[in-house]
A and B are shown apart, each in its own frame.
Chain A
């Protein structure tokens, strides 16, 4: 007798838990042959708000962790993903990739996470400066995390695009609310399971599935989201950019071939950083000069 397969229920990921959408709604994305690939949560405006609340709550302690510790945790994500490689390969195939494409995508995703894990305790050294001001002050500029980054995952990939935007944003101490690819959402939720078992504190990453046109304006206009990153948004670009203005969200769009080794780097991290300049006086009373 054939064994009855256990099908997976895909839920959303908020504050380290896997609730269903509060709306109770779902949608069924289809593969290339028109078959449904799963019932996904059709997340609502309220889910976005809940996710932002969770992200804000997580921000303080995540951004204050040592850079080394964040590096360890990001590396741990790669370890967990490595262990579940096969699951992602199958899931990508279910969404229309060939086996070879799927393998390549998962391996690149793992390696990209390791790459950013290494940046955690280095970007600040490369991007900071000691500024030689003319007055008697020690003056330096360092990077700080920005806050909550809204991420619209690239639409044409299920895993690698999401990883390419999300990981540089969180490796610098930001927390994130991510909207998964509408048509290829499976890996986003399975990736949430990876995050959940990787020492990433709850709320650092929150992942929603659903209709982009419904969720993006809510995320873009949310007053407690500090930045918004995505691929170019086409017909949604102007409306989204305008919605982001009310709290002067930092908005960045990237067009890259995420399957390329080159689509990663320091500047994906630096966009979601703030620069802080500190002035500290240097006592200069005696006027003694050391000549030796």
Chain B
């Protein structure tokens, strides 16, 4: 771990812990695969443990699906597509999805707590962002199911068939919702694989789906590691692959399905620019920087991990940023006061620490929050690097942790060039008081989502997805439907 080189600047004050209760939740000691609305033991006979990254305690053990198990799930999905779901009227399809949304809302608190336990994210975020957004996503797409002909002018569309969906560990339930809701609304059936470190909320969602009365086989959830995902990608009877994760794995998937005719959407990595002009409301911008990079411990594909500050205000912004970093609460994710929770896994913590070492070695100046780290669990101090070069590793590669690289700029043209000089193009933030400048920047930044005077905002109605190597296809909104439909010939 990098040495903490700078002194704590802000006065500290402590709140009494305000722990969210775990008494109302149920986590079974073991979870099987969810196929055909039944809990099926894996033919692999293998299970893996899922732990709480904040305490390193084992929460449950989870079935590890192999090729045969995946084949079973795909067969179930195919049968459900042919016999039931493609024959269910759009109106009825819609009502099933509404049911799922309502049941999720009813169990929202339990879902939030389990998400926090399994993923390490602060309860405040799981409760106020992940879970409500996930519910709302189902609500939003439920209503599309019987209105699809309005979405594509003069072009009749039809479902693809069976969708294989592979999701990451940073927003486990939310990503499941982003994938399943539009797929069902468009009339597809689903085989979904959650990430191996965060399977629990997807399995709770399986319970909800079963309770909703959704016909068997329409949604199947198979848990496992990378080999399980590969089995989905390579299964010949899958029509669509939807993947959210690293650019590296996205490319492996894209190569694997080359020439197979499988349709794909890839929502991949990013190195998004957050740009602060000298006329920006500075305190608000500092909050935006904090939210941009430290939200969900920086495990956010669109994290504002490259900060560009106009040179004449750089000193002020960095001073205020350090001050704000020192008042962040890092610790038990179940504590409602906690701002920064646990890093999702030991493996990810190792990756982040590797990048911090590289940043120091490449000559950037480091500053880390002066907070104490809990003695157990995987934690990383909020970290910023000052005087980072455009060419340095930490301003080019995605770190996926609470690590910010800071560069300065003088002119609008310069910052556009610097911001766009990346193989990624997922998101960007622009902070300025001047409306015409905002629209100049938002037009010229080559990224799929642009936040003006805000950052990391999401909504079911708002399409999300990247340019260039950040992937293709959109999730959310009207445009998210296109990922799960094809033109009727």
What residues make up the interface of A, taking CB atoms closer than 8 Å to B?
126, 129, 131-135, 137, 139, 141, 144, 146, 226, 237-238, 241-242, 245-248, 250, 265-267, 274-281
Contacts and interface: CB of A to CB of B under 8 A. Distances in A.
B469 interface: yes
11 contacts: A131-B477, A133-B461, A135-B457, A245-B251, A245-B255, A248-B468, A276-B448, A277-B462, A279-B451, A279-B452, A280-B438
B463 interface: yes
B155 to A, nearest CB: 6
A238 B259 contact: yes
Nearest to A139: B462
Given A242-B258, A246-B251, A248-B471, A137 B457 contact: yes
Contact of B423 (A247, A266, A278): A247
A12 B256 CA distance: 36
B479 A278 contact: no
Contacts of B454: 137, 279, 281
A71 B474 CA distance: 28
B241 to A, nearest CB: 13
Nearest to A142: B443
Contact of A132 (B259, B452, B461, B463): B461
B153 A126 contact: yes
A135 B472 contact: no
- A interface, over-half SS: mixed
A146 B466 CA distance: 11
Say which size band chain B's interface belongs to: 35 or more
Contacts of B255: 242, 245
B65 interface: no
Interface of B: 136, 153-155, 247, 250-251, 254-255, 258-259, 266, 268, 423, 438, 442-443, 447-454, 457, 459, 461-465, 467-469, 471-472, 474, 477-479, 487
A176 B426 CA distance: 24
A278 B451 CA distance: 6
Contacts of B259: 237-238, 241-242
Nearest to A223: B423
Given A137-B457, A266-B153, A131 B251 contact: no
A129 B479 contact: yes
Contacts, number: 103
Given A247-B468, A275-B474, A277-B449, 18 more contacts: A131-B478, A134-B459, A139-B462, A146-B467, A242-B259, A246-B251, A266-B153, A267-B155, A274-B467, A275-B448, A276-B447, A276-B450, A277-B450, A279-B450, A279-B452, A279-B457, A279-B462, A280-B452
A190 B474 CA distance: 39
A259 B259 CA distance: 26
Contacts of B467: 146, 274
B254 A245 contact: yes
A131 B450 contact: no
Contacts of B251: 245-246, 248
Contact of A247 (B266, B268, B453, B469): B469
Which 5 A-B pairs give the minimum distances between C-beta atoms?
A238-B259, A241-B258, A133-B459, A131-B461, A245-B254
A260 to B, nearest CB: 13
A115 to B, nearest CB: 14
A238 B262 CA distance: 12
B410 to A, nearest CB: 21
Contacts of B450: 276-279
Contacts of B258: 237-238, 241-242, 245
A31 B254 CA distance: 39
A136 to B, nearest CB: 10
A139 B468 contact: no
B463 to A, nearest CB: 5
B479 A275 contact: yes
Given A237-B259, A245-B258, A277 B463 contact: yes
Contacts of A137: 454, 457
Nearest to A255: B489
Given A131-B463, A141-B463, A274 B448 contact: yes
Contacts of B461: 131-133, 139
Nearest to B132: A134
Contacts of A131: 459, 461-463, 477-478
Contacts of B464: 277
A186 B343 CA distance: 61
Contacts of A135: 457, 459
Contacts of B153: 126, 266
Contacts of A126: 153
Contacts of B453: 280-281
Contacts of B254: 245, 248
Nearest to A253: B261
B472 A250 contact: yes
Nearest to A140: B462
A134 B136 contact: yes
A143 B348 CA distance: 36
A280 B431 CA distance: 11
Nearest to A280: B452
Contacts of B247: 248
A237 to B, nearest CB: 5
A265 B438 CA distance: 33
Contacts of A132: 461
Nearest to A138: B452
Nearest to B438: A280
A278 B441 CA distance: 11
